[in-house]
Chain A
Amino acid sequence: MKQALWGQVIKVKSILKREYEIPANDFALAGEASSNVRKILTQLGVNPVIIKRTSIAMYEAELNAVIHGNGGKALVEIFEDKIQILIYDEGPGIEDIELAMVEGYSTAPDSIREMGFGAGMGLSNIKKNADEFLLESEINKGTKVYITIALF
């Protein structure tokens, strides 16, 4: 097995793992984790098209954790051939996942719409950009979003 290397950016072949706190209700800070991952992928020389797809998927999930999930955490692992992202929160959860996936469905409050979000496009945008996407949610327990992006 390959050994996980913590805390440093190394060659593409190795595994890299990062954990991020996603602060609740701090809309100005939302996106810091995605921005950091973007930086790492750029340093690793990952194809820009893949970086953009990863950025879009992760940023949408991070925003959802801030807006709907009272903040949470992001776990990012980079393998030789793929990037795996888990974004999870312990917020209210999603009652009807199928409905939440429908483009245009949103429960975002007006304060979020005034900030330019809440069009109900995020989840389907994640699905569009990820190679694998899994959404798990339980009412009053929280929500988990698994995103995998192939590197090649």
Chain B
Amino acid sequence: MVLCDVLKLIDGKLHTCEEEVDIYIKSACGADLMSDVMAFSKENALLLTGLVNPQVIRTAEMMDIKVVIFVRGKKPTDAMCELAEEKGIVLASSDLSMFTCCGLLYEAGIVGTGN
């Protein structure tokens, strides 16, 4: 599923890298604990999180995560957007909850990999 369809599904808004809406998303993970993302995320290009701080961007970078979606109406700060833009990481946000976002994406065929 391409990113722009993912965003439509969860009423997401883009904050960085608007040109990247064609990225193909096959699997995702949802977590507020970056320790877990570091330890268990395998091949996921998409991270859904309710956590907002610069280390979310760094964690995404290290794990080859291309898109981070902030749930529950959380918005990345300007500093985070700058950092993400520099690293070519797409930041988006949705007002829906983590559970609802994950559910909608799962229903649409996006799977979870790893444990």
Contact = CB atoms under 8 A, between A and B. Distances in A.
Interface of A: 27-28, 30-31, 34-35, 38, 48, 52, 55-56, 59-60, 63, 115-122, 124-125
A107 B23 CA distance: 39
A31 B35 contact: no
B54 A117 contact: no
Q: Give chain B's interface secondary structure class.
A: helix
Q: Give chain A's interface secondary structure class.
A: helix
A119 B34 CA distance: 9
B35 A117 contact: yes
A59 B36 contact: no
Contacts of B36: 119, 121
Of the four ranges (under 10, 10 to 19, 20 to 34, 35 or more), the interface on chain B belongs to 20 to 34
A116 B35 contact: yes
Interface of B: 32-36, 38-39, 49, 51, 53-56, 58-59, 61-64, 79, 87
B38 A121 contact: yes
Closest 4 CB pairs of A and B: A119-B35, A116-B34, A31-B58, A55-B62
